[in-house]
């Protein structure tokens, strides 16, 4: 393929003042409004950790399903005037409810047992003395009628929604599903994601670099970000800055993938083939160039029936920042979740002197965030130990401690 004239690149036009960069918010809404929901698949609950539920799950019974004893001890009727009771039986958990019919009798009860009929109060074993078949309240023991009983339906009635559609199934959600007998469920299919990294200078980390080569780091960040959050399955391929190789890989990924991520080759260099080739296959991008630092040359394509294409600027900080800020929320949306930015206050004053919206690594302590601006977007070493990216939306501004910023955690 012959080299395309630089003048055909949107960013080149922007550099000459023709095409304005769009804002971060505009870029976000163009991406989110272009996305299609992924289909659902039926799976067993033991495969469902971190998957996104595609239907509500209902309580099959009231919760709890019976008056549940909450303490090991004795059950009495609170109207009894006795302080000492004949133990007329033992109510184990997992056994049908016994019945108490004498006011000066009691039943031994175990945590998790159904409350015996004829009783309405549980006295813990610490507050009684048992001698033979008799239980006597310790001196000064008082009780509230009805105490230590988890009443039928006090958490929810039968048929209540216990898990809404669109929720991510974490440990607690899976416990709830199990408790209502939902051992199978429909969840969003994980998108097939193709990650195409580019660059002649970029080699596999297992190889020995020459003086002018670097080891490839992007897949090591992006695959855990995506797969660790259970947002997709990633296939990675590295491509040289060769238009034929890139075009061939693009054509095949556009056929097979639900989402295509490219890193590098999206700016204005003579060997930046990604944008011209994507334009050849998909037409004009939704946008190419966002008023943000890092990640200004970020481009996005989505045409009907083809995958969402995220062309991330190749610098390591730009890749991680744009993936965390745009790609992860987009994948969540495709999976049926409703991602909302979290907000956190700045721990101290912060001056953002750049003329663009900033996406900056943060650490969080005691609920407050500290920003750690990299020296430049190749300064990936700054990212060690950081928890995500925060957005300083207004350029050239002195932010004061306590200002709430949108944050995008890695996990």
Distance (Å, whole) CA 237 – CA 190? 19
**Which two structure tokens, joined as six digits, stand for 235?**
């296939």
> 214, 245, 354, 383: which one contacts ligand LQZAQKY5 (CB under 6 A)?
214
Distance (Å, whole) CA 71 – CA 388? 44
- Partner touching 197 among ligand MOO, ligand LQZAQKY5, none, CB below 5 to 8 Å by kind: ligand LQZAQKY5
- Partner touching 146 among ligand LQZAQKY5, ligand MOO, none, CB below 5 to 8 Å by kind: none
CB distance 218 to 316 below 8 Å: yes
> 116, 191, 199, 295: which one contacts ligand MOO (CB under 6 A)?
295
Nearer to ligand MOO by Cβ, of 309 and 312: the residue is 312
Give SS3 for 12: helix
- Applying the rule CB under 6 A, the residues between 308 and 327 that interact with ligand LQZAQKY5 are 313-316, 318
> 91, 308, 322, 377: which one contacts ligand LQZAQKY5 (CB under 6 A)?
377
> 194, 286, 288, 293: which one contacts ligand MOO (CB under 6 A)?
293
Could you tell me the CA-to-CA distances from 373 to 181, 235, 268, 389 in Å, in that order? 49, 31, 25, 10
* β-strand partners of 362: 371, 388
Does residue number 285 form part of the binding site for ligand LQZAQKY5 (CB under 6 A)? no
Tallying the residues shown for the chain, one arrives at 411
Closest by CA position to 114, among listed 100, 145, 99, 93: 93
> 73, 276, 285, 297: which one contacts ligand LQZAQKY5 (CB under 6 A)?
297
Part of the chain binding ligand LQZAQKY5 (CB under 6 A), chosen from 149-157, 180-188, 262-270, 349-357: 262-270
**Which two structure tokens, joined as six digits, stand for 176?**
């709830």
Query: What are the DSSP calls for 121-154, one per residue?
Result: EEEEGGGEEEETTEEEEPTT----TTTTEE-TTS
Distance (Å, whole) CA 202 – CA 331? 27
CB distance 324 to 333 below 8 Å: no
Residues in CB range of 361: below 8 A, 6 or more apart = 317, 321, 371, 372, 373, 374, 382, 383, 386, 388, 389, 390
Map residues 307-346 to x or -, x wherever contact with ligand MOO holds by CB under 6 A: ------x-x--x----------------------------
Residue 267 CB, shortest distance to ligand LQZAQKY5, in Å, is 3
Could you tell me how many residues of this chain bind ligand MOO (CB under 6 A)?
9
Any idea which residue has 């109060």 for tokens?
121
* β-strand partners of 262: 196, 311
Distance (Å, whole) CA 305 – CA 51? 24
State the helix-helix crossing angle for 243-256 and 274-282, rounded to 10 degrees.
50
Does residue number 216 form part of the binding site for ligand LQZAQKY5 (CB under 6 A)? yes
- Partner touching 216 among ligand LQZAQKY5, ligand MOO, none, CB below 5 to 8 Å by kind: ligand LQZAQKY5
- Applying the rule CB under 6 A, the residues between 51 and 90 that interact with ligand MOO are none
Residue 181 CB, shortest distance to ligand MOO, in Å, is 51
> 98, 257, 266, 371: which one contacts ligand LQZAQKY5 (CB under 6 A)?
266
Residue 356 CB, shortest distance to ligand LQZAQKY5, in Å, is 10
Nearer to ligand MOO by Cβ, of 294 and 336: the residue is 294
Does residue number 284 form part of the binding site for ligand LQZAQKY5 (CB under 6 A)? no
255 conformational bin, left if phi > 0, alpha if psi -120 to 50, beta if neither: alpha
- Applying the rule CB under 6 A, the residues between 369 and 408 that interact with ligand MOO are 377
Does residue number 373 form part of the binding site for ligand LQZAQKY5 (CB under 6 A)? no
Q: Interface with ligand LQZAQKY5 by CB under 6 A: which residues?
A: 11, 197-199, 201-202, 214, 216-218, 263-269, 272, 294, 296-297, 313-316, 318, 377-378
Q: Interface with ligand MOO by CB under 6 A: which residues?
A: 293-297, 313, 315, 318, 377
């Amino acid at each position: 393929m012959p080299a395309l004239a630089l003048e055909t690149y949107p960013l080149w036009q922007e550099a000459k003042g023709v095409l304005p960069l769009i804002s971060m918010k505009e870029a976000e809404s163009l991406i989110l409004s272009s996305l299609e929901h992924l289909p659902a698949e039926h799976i067993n609950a033991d495969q469902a950790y971190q998957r996104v539920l595609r239907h509500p799950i209902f309580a099959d019974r009231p919760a709890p399903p019976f008056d549940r004893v909450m303490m090991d001890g004795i059950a009495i009727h609170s109207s009894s005037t006795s302080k000492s009771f004949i133990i007329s039986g033992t109510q184990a958990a997992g056994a049908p409810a016994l019945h108490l019919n004498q006011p000066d009798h009691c039943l031994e009860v175990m945590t998790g047992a159904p409350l015996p009929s004829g009783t309405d109060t549980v006295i813990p074993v610490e507050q009684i003395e048992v001698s033979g078949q008799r239980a006597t309240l310790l001196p000064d023991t008082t009780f509230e009628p009805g105490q230590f009983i988890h009443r039928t339906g006090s958490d929810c009635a039968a048929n209540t929604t216990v898990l809404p559609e669109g929720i991510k199934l974490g440990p607690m959600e899976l416990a709830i599903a199990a408790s209502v007998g939902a051992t199978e469920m429909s969840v969003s299919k994980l998108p097939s994601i193709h990650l195409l990294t580019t660059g002649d200078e970029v080699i596999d980390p297992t190889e020995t670099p020459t003086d002018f080569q670097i080891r490839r780091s992007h897949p090591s960040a992006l695959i855990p970000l995506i797969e660790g959050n259970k947002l997709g399955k990633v296939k990675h391929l590295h491509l040289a800055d060769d238009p034929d190789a890139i075009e061939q890989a693009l054509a095949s990924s556009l056929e097979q993938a639900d989402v295509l991520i490219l890193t590098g080759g999206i700016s204005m260099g003579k060997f930046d083939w990604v944008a011209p080739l994507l334009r050849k296959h998909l037409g004009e991008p939704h946008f190419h160039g966002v008023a943000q630092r890092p990640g200004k040359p970020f481009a996005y394509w989505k045409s009907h029936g083809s995958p969402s294409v995220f062309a991330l600027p190749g610098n390591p900080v730009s890749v991680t920042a744009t993936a965390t800020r745009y790609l992860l929320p987009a994948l969540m949306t495709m999976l049926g979740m409703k991602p909302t930015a979290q907000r956190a206050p700045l721990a101290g004053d912060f001056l953002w002197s750049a003329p663009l919206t900033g996406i900056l690594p943060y650490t969080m302590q005691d609920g407050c965030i500290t920003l750690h601006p990299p020296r430049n977007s190749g300064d990936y070493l700054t990212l060690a130990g950081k928890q995500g990216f925060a957005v300083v939306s207004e350029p050239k501004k002195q932010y004061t401690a306590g200002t709430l910023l949108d944050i995008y955690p890695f996990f």
